[in-house]
Amino acid sequence: MATTADIKNGMCIDFNHDLFSIIEFQHVKPGKGAAFVRTRLKSLTTGRVLENTFPSGAKINPVRVETRPYQFLYKDELGYNFMDMNTFEQITVEKHIINAPQFLMDGAEVEVMVHTQEERPLQVKLKSTVVMKVTYTEHGIKGDTASGNTLKPATVESGATVMVPLFVNVDEKIKIDTESGDYVERVK
C-alpha cells in the first residue's frame, strides 16, 4: 500500500476495480480545509480518461507493470499474435488494446505493457512514427490548390488510408504519426 504522497506521473494504480495510469497530478493545499491531490487517470483497459480527487494521505494500491519488446507476427480469428523478443514466447491480444492496429506490419517491433502479477498484456504501443510505402493514390494535378483542399487520400502497404499532400505518389515512402494517423513527411 502507498499513499497519495507517493503519486508520480506514469504510475499505475488499482482504482474502482480497474487499472489506471496517472497522467498528471497536483497537490493542493487550500488556505482553509484539508489538503488534497487532484489527478487525471487513464484506464488501461478502456482508454477512458477521468479526473479524481484524493484526500491527502489517502491509501492507493500501486500495480507493478513492465514494458517489454515484442514483434508482431500475424493476425488471425483469435486476435493479433506477438512474440516476446527475449523469451520467444507468443501471446495473442485483442484489437482494442493496440494503439494503432491499422499500421501494424509483419515483423513490426512494439512495446507491450504487461501486468507483472498476472502476466496479462494491458497495452500494445507502436513506435511514435512508422515508415510505410504508398501502394495507391490518385495523381495530384498541378494547380489543384484553389479549392483549399491540398490533401488527397493514399493507401499504404498495411491497407490503412492516410491523407497526404498532392506531391506524394505511388511507391514513395512516407512517415506517419501513429497517435493521430497523420502524414508527417516523405522519406527518401
Show pLDDT as tens, one digit a residue, over the chain (188 residues): 888 889 999 899 999 888 899 999 999 999 888 999 999 998 887 778 999 999 998 999 999 989 999 999 999 999 999 999 999 999 999 988 888 899 999 999 999 999 888 888 988 999 999 999 999 998 876 665 555 568 889 999 999 999 998 888 999 999 999 988 899 999 98
Q: Would the pTM of this model clear 0.85, i.e. be above it?
A: no
C-alpha cell recorded at residue 115: 501486468
Q: What is the spatial distance between Cα 122 and Cα 68, in angstroms, rounded to a whole number?
A: 11
Q: What is the spatial distance between Cα 116 and Cα 6, in angstroms, rounded to a whole number?
A: 20
The CATH code of the domain at 2-62 is 2.30.30.30
Q: What is the pLDDT of residue 46?
A: 77
At the fourth CATH level, which superfamily is domain 129-187? Answer: Nucleic acid-binding proteins (2.40.50.140)
CATH 2.40.50.140 domain residues, the chain: 65-125, 129-187
Q: Mapping DSSP to helix (H, G, I), strand (E, B) and coil, where does residue 95 land?
A: helix
Q: Which CATH class is domain 65-125?
A: mainly beta
C-alpha cell recorded at residue 151: 490533401
Q: What's the alpha-carbon Rg for the chain, to the nearest Å?
A: 21
Q: Is 110 exposed, middle or buried (CB count within 10 Å of its CB: 0-12, 13-18, 19+)? A: buried
